[in-house]
Amino acid sequence: DIQMTQSPSSLSASVGDRVTITCQASQDISNYLNWYQQKPGKAPKLLIYDASNLETGVPSRFSGSGSGTDFTFTISSLQPEDIATYYCQQYDNLPRVTFGGGTKVEIK
């Protein structure tokens, strides 16, 4: 099974800060990686697909990069509405998927 190691597990940043989250796969997954945002009591929402593509309607301050085993998710300027938990998800062998452990983003 492919394991996804996501870090940090939580972070606190100020409004306007640049926030970076990393995700490492236990084996090469090419660009088969998605990033989701989950707010309390809600289902996850797709932000980034295929590692670096912004989902329609998602603000451009969100971005993703990487391929192979190492991936990065960035919020270029943190906004109050970005408070949420973010998950990476690999889909190298559909429909089997694995999620990272999540990163809880808070405002300092």
Partner 1 sequence: QLQLQESGPGLVKPSETLSLTCTVSGGSISSSSYYWGWIRQPPGKGLEWIGSIYYSGSTYYNPSLKSRVTISVDTSKNQFSLKLSSVTAADTAVYYCARRGIAAARWEDYWGQGTLVTVSS
Q: Give the integer Cα–Cα distance in Å for 32 and 52.
A: 10
- Least distance between partner 1 and beta carbon 61 (Å): 20
Distance from the Cα of residue 24 to its chain's centroid: 11
Q: Give the integer Cα–Cα distance in Å for 108 and 95.
A: 38
Tokens representing 51 are 């590692």
Could you give the string, one character per residue 16-55, with x where binding to partner 1 holds by CB under 8 A and - elsewhere?
----------------x-x---x----xx-x--xx-----
Tokens representing 71 are 């991936």
Q: Which is nearer to partner 1, 9 or 77 (CB)?
A: 9
For residue 21, what are the contacts with CB-CB under 8 A and spacing of at least 6?
A: 6, 7, 8, 11, 72, 73, 74, 86, 88, 103
Considering the rule CB under 8 A, would residue 15 count as an interface residue with partner 1? Answer: no
Which one of 26, 96, 106, 107 is in contact with partner 1 (CB under 8 A)? Answer: 96
Q: Which is nearer to partner 1, 14 or 56 (CB)?
A: 56
By CB under 8 A, name the binding residues for partner 1: 1, 32, 34, 38, 43-44, 46, 49-50, 87, 89, 91, 94-102
